[in-house]
Amino acid sequence: MKKLILSVAVSMFAASLAPNVFAATAQQNKMKECNASATDKKGDERKAFMKECLSAKPAAKATQQDKMKSCNKEAGEKALKGDERKKFMSDCLKG
């Protein structure tokens, strides 16, 4: 009985770790993307490209607050009011 309980506990523990073991890291995903982009390059050109590609930082995503500021500015420049402004702001913030 103890062996059965131990075996169930070990298998449950292993199952909880499994997704983490097989999940690709961000670096692995980046390597895959860079490799796919470098298929036409060879030698030193490929090495230089891969170095640049792997060290590149992802573009910063605009925050909701930044979007709100730019949409407000644009709505002000267009002198939108009332329902027209609400619709514009809604569409602008979605995009």
The count of C-alpha atoms lying within 13 angstroms of the C-alpha of 32, restricted to the half-sphere facing its C-beta, is 6
Q: What local confidence, expressed as pLDDT, does residue 21 receive?
A: 55
Mapped onto helix, strand or coil, the DSSP state of residue 58 is: coil
Q: What local confidence, expressed as pLDDT, does residue 4 receive?
A: 64
Per-residue pLDDT tens listing for the chain (95 residues): 667 676 666 666 655 655 555 667 878 888 888 888 888 889 999 999 888 888 887 666 668 888 889 899 999 999 999 999 999 998 888 87
Q: What local confidence, expressed as pLDDT, does residue 13 receive?
A: 62
Q: Using alpha carbons, select from 51, 12, 18 the residue that is nearest to residue 34.
A: 51
Q: Is the pTM of this model over 0.85?
A: no
> 41 phi and psi, to 5 degrees?
-105, 155
